[in-house]
Amino acid sequence: MIWCLVVLLLGIIFLLIFMVREAFLNKVVEHELYFPDFPESFGKVTIFFISDIHRRVISDFIIESVKGKADFVIIGGDLTEKGVSFGQVKANLLKLKQIGPVYFVWGNNDYEVDFRKLDATLLDMGVKILDNTAVSFESGQGEKLSLLGVDDCSQERDRLDLALIDAEESNFKILACHIPDITDKILNESNISLVLSGHTHGGQIHIMGYSPFKKGGIKKLENTTILISNGYGTTRVPLRLGAPAETHLITVKQGIQKIG
């Protein structure tokens, strides 16, 4: 009986250690995505995508492993949450700026802090906030790519229609939105090729294969393709099981999309 309790206790300890390890992984998942309408004159565009940082301090290993490889950085919301100091937020932003220009979309937890101060901090540090807006990039041959971002859907702050107005109709479009449910509002005629999101943490903890949300991944929908990240940080408890922490290095090229 005692040995059974000892084995059980050791099993619980090892499981907790494993869950902490999964929560604090510094993993960069690399993706190559192909779209037939991607402007050929760009060659390729590479994005470093990080979502749901929450309370974590971004590892120098992450920064060094992607430095020089990405054209720009997208923060997919929940950069912070209640109880995180603005000093830590600034330190994380300074690290991300080593990779390239940084773009940000609001997440629900970002509104737990003094969001006006967060807004001012982002602007002071040269981070472009995509709150129902878009930025466009033009190749030497005149082809254009637009990066769109919408505000937090959970508070009904999102206005995809306004972001689309900022992006020319013929441009290749990538949309950043914290909550993946934005895909319900995308029309086929919007021609948004790729959506980058987070929020769900990939379920964070899967017990016997069950979790409120599926593990993150890439999925081809009828109206777009979406990447849902497991996220970098955690919420409530600093534990993960079956949905390890991750960031993404996404290279977009012209070609045939091979995602099922």
Spatial distance between the Cα atoms of 171 and 136, rounded to a whole number of angstroms: 8
- Segment 5-64, tens digit of pLDDT: 877 777 788 889 999 999 999 999 999 999 999 999 999 999 999 999 999 999 999 999
Q: What is the pLDDT of residue 41?
A: 95
The per-residue b/e assignment along 30-64, b for 16 or more CB within 10 angstroms, e otherwise, is: eeebebeebbeebeebbbbbbbbbbebebbeebbe
Distances from the Cα of 114 to the Cα of 58, 82, 118, angstroms: 21, 9, 6
Residue range 210-233, pLDDT digits in tens: 898 899 999 999 999 999 999 999
Look at residue 6 in the predicted model and tell me its pLDDT: 72
Q: What is the per-residue pLDDT for 258?
A: 64
Instruction: Beginning with the edge strand found earlier in the chain, give each strand of the sheet holding 144-149 in spatial order.
Output: 133-138, 144-149, 172-176, 192-197, 225-228, 217-220
The tens digit of pLDDT for each residue in 60-101 reads 999 999 999 999 999 999 999 999 999 999 999 999 999 999
Reported pTM: 0.95
Angle at 247 between CA 198 and CA 31, to 5 degrees: 95
Query: Residue 123: how many CB atoms within 10 A of its CB?
Result: 11
Q: Measure the CA–CA gap between 60 and 66, rounded to whole angstroms.
A: 10
Domain range annotation of the chain: 2-254
In CATH terms, 2-254 corresponds, of 2.60.450, 3.40.1350, 2.30.30, 3.60.21, to 3.60.21
Which one-letter DSSP state was computed for residue 55? T
Reported confidence tier of residue 1, pLDDT bands at 50, 70, 90: confident
